Every structure is written in C-alpha cells, then in structure tokens.
Amino acid sequence: MEPILEVAALSKSFPVKGLWGKAKGEVSAVKEVSFALKEQGTLGIVGESGCGKSTLARLILRLIEPDLGEVRFRGQNIVGLKENEMRKIRQNMQMVFQNPYSSLNPKMTILDNVAFNLWVNGASKQEARKQAHSYLDAVGLPKSYAGRYPHSLSGGQRQRVAIARALIVEPDILIADEAVSALDKSVQAQVLNLFQDLKKQFSLSLLFISHDLNVVEYMSDEVMVMYLGTVVEKGPADRLYSNPYHPYTQALLNSAPSMEVGVTTLNKHTPIAGELPSPLHPPSGCRFRTRCKFAEERCTHNVPRTTEVGQGHQVACLLYETGHEARVVS
Ligand SMILES: Nc1ncnc2c1ncn2[C@@H]1O[C@H](COP(=O)(O)OP(=O)(O)OP(=O)(O)O)[C@@H](O)[C@H]1O
Ligand SMILES: [Mg+2]
C-alpha cells in the first residue's frame, strides 16, 4: 500500500541573531530527513531534546517553510501549495501538543473548544456542537463536562479535549508531539491506550513524537531515531529495540530506565557520554562522532549514507557502509 505521508530530504535551518541583531550563524534543526508513514500505521519519532522533532512536525504541516525537500500527502507534494489549498490538507493532518492548557481557549467551554475546530472550517454552530458532544464521548469525557472550562480539568482530561478537538475534523493523520510528556505515569498509560483505541476506531495513521523510548516502543510499529537534526536509524519497532545498529540508538536504549508503560522498574542505565554539541556548530562528517565510542578518523570527513541492514531497517553509520559484518556491540 502507498504510504499516506512521505517526507523526502526535508531540511530547515534557522538564522540565529547575536547581540544587536547581528547574524551569528544558523541552527541546522532538520537535515535531509526522509521517511514514510504507512496508511493506518504508527511511526514513532524519538531523540533527545533539541534534535528537531517538533521542527519536523511543523514543517510537515507547513507551519514553517522548509528550505529544501518534499512532503507528500497521498502522493501529492504539498510544499509550495497555496494557503487555501493547505487549509484542506491541514484538516487531514491534525496535531496534538504537549501542553493542552496553552492550546485550549480558557474562555471557551470544553464543548466549544472542540466545536470551534469544526465551525472555523465552515460548519454551523449547531452542527459543530452536536458533533463535539459525540467526540467528547469518544475520548471518554462524561457529558457533564461539556459546559465546564479548561481550568477545572486535570491534565489528562485536558489532553482528551485536545484529542477530541483534533478528531472532530475527521483527519487521516494525527501528529502527537510529546502529547503525554507532561502527564503522570498512570495518566500517561490511560491516554496512550486512548490513542490506540481511537486509532483503530477512526482508521488513523499516527506520527508519534516523544523523547521517551518506552512510550514510543509501546505505541509504534516503526520507529525513527533522530540526532541533531538527522535520522540515524529507522525500522520496525521490534527489530530496532531488540537489535539496534547505530551507536547512538544503542546508547539511547542503554540510557533509558526500562519500563512497562505506567510502571518504572529500576535497572542499570548508563547516561550517554559527552555533551550534546551546539546545533549552531554541528560536528563535521557524522554528527554523532564526538560522543561515539566507535568513532574513527573517517567519521570526521564523511557524512554517513543510509544503509539497509534488514528488511525496512536502515542505519546511517559509516561502520555499516564498508560491509562490516560484525555489528558494534555496546
Ligand atoms: N524558531 C526557531 N528559531 C531558532 N532556532 C530554533 C527555532 N525552532 C527550533 N529551533 C532550534 O532547532 C533545534 C531543534 O528544535 P526542536 O524544538 O525541533 O527540537 P525537539 O526535538 O522538538 O526538542 P524537545 O524534545 O525539547 O521538544 C533546536 O536547537 C532549537 O533551538
Ligand atoms: Mg519538541
């Protein structure tokens, strides 16, 4: 089946200004990122803070313009589409953010927060409110909540409202950017299960962004690992977690406490060595080389190419480019 969303060599740099507004350089936030999201699949995007996950999401929705690359929705490249054409595409790709409190309107009732997304898109208020009731029901909020205001809800309940608001316009794709990161572990598990149920019920394809490896593993069929704006590894979730190839993926997995969603179990975890370099001055060659225990001289000069290491499993590391048979083991 053709992917519902394809991203090809997408790149974005932000100019950085120093004192007195003088240009200081550029942050390379997303660099030549490519991936495909399968129809009704879940692709998890994981990586440390600042690796470009949110920038990537905003580029896909064209809330910011890419410098280079393509975003194809059902085969159509949407980069360059006019604003009125984009409006329809954006209905098909709805986003759920980390902090529902700042994205909900505090002066509107819960019902109208949800209904609003439909009536700005042309529905009558009456119709929008009718639909909003059924979407609040779908996300598990009792009827009695409809007339309440966001401040009177818990974090988890607010996130349910944000999800209902996204779903009311019947999108094909939901982009969840750290959608459960601000929630307590037990509430997190409930909201993750809600995402799973709604995905089935509404035949959604899901782009699930999180810095939390356990959450991404729980949610995703496929996973993409980012480091300093680049994709270092991607593949089926079970393969990537059981058999990580990239030294960064290995280090990241070793650094995370293992957890069943909702229950953290203490086990040994080793922090990733070294400091995250400034994205203003990313290392030459392989961007991970300054923290990589397998780094060699050639990693300074060569940008790793994407190498297929198994079915649908790809890694961007020089160690695998020259036919090294043995996998690096951390
Ligand atoms: N508008 C902007 N202007 C300048 N730099 C920006 C802008 N937006 C993002 N950046 C920079 O781009 C890089 C990627 O940021 P981004 O927010 O996409 O990362 P992230 O992976 O979502 O991080 P987090 O896990 O903290 O949410 C960072 O270095 C960030 O400082
Ligand atoms: Mg982010």
Average pLDDT taken over every residue of the chain: 92
pLDDT at 256: 77
Q: List, in sequence order, the alpha helices (H) in the chain.
A: 53-60, 83-92, 100-103, 110-119, 125-138, 155-167, 185-201, 213-219, 237-242, 247-255, 298-301
Residue 71 predicted with pLDDT over 80: yes
Cα 122 from chain centre: 29
pLDDT at 274: 87
Segment 235-244 mean pLDDT: 97
Measured CA distances, 204 to 90, 132, 217, 293 (Å): 14, 18, 18, 40
Which residues line the pocket of ligand 1, CB cutoff 6 A? Answer: 14, 27, 29, 47, 49-55, 211, 279
CATH number of 5-320: 3.40.50.300
Residue 326 predicted with pLDDT over 80: no
Burial (CB count <10 Å: 0-12, 13-18, 19+), residue 25: middle
Q: Which residues pair with 11 in a beta bridge?
A: 68
Segment 174-180 mean pLDDT: 96
Residues 128-165: tens digit of each pLDDT: 999 999 999 999 999 999 999 999 999 999 999 999 99
Q: What angle do CA 281, 283, 285 make, to 5 degrees?
A: 135
Residues 6-40: tens digit of each pLDDT: 999 999 999 998 878 788 889 999 999 999 999 99
Ligand 2 center from residue 228 Cα (angstroms): 12
Residue 272 predicted with pLDDT over 90: no
The DSSP output letter for 291 is: G
Q: How far apart are the first and last CA of the chain?
A: 36
Q: Whose CA is nearest to atom 14 of ligand 1?
A: 52
Parse the chain into domains and list their residue ranges.
5-320
Q: Whose CA is nearest to atom 30 of ligand 1?
A: 50
Counting ligands in written order, the one closest to the CA of 51 is: 1
pLDDT at 102: 77
Task: Please state the atom number of ligand 1 nearest to the C-alpha of residue 211.
Answer: 25
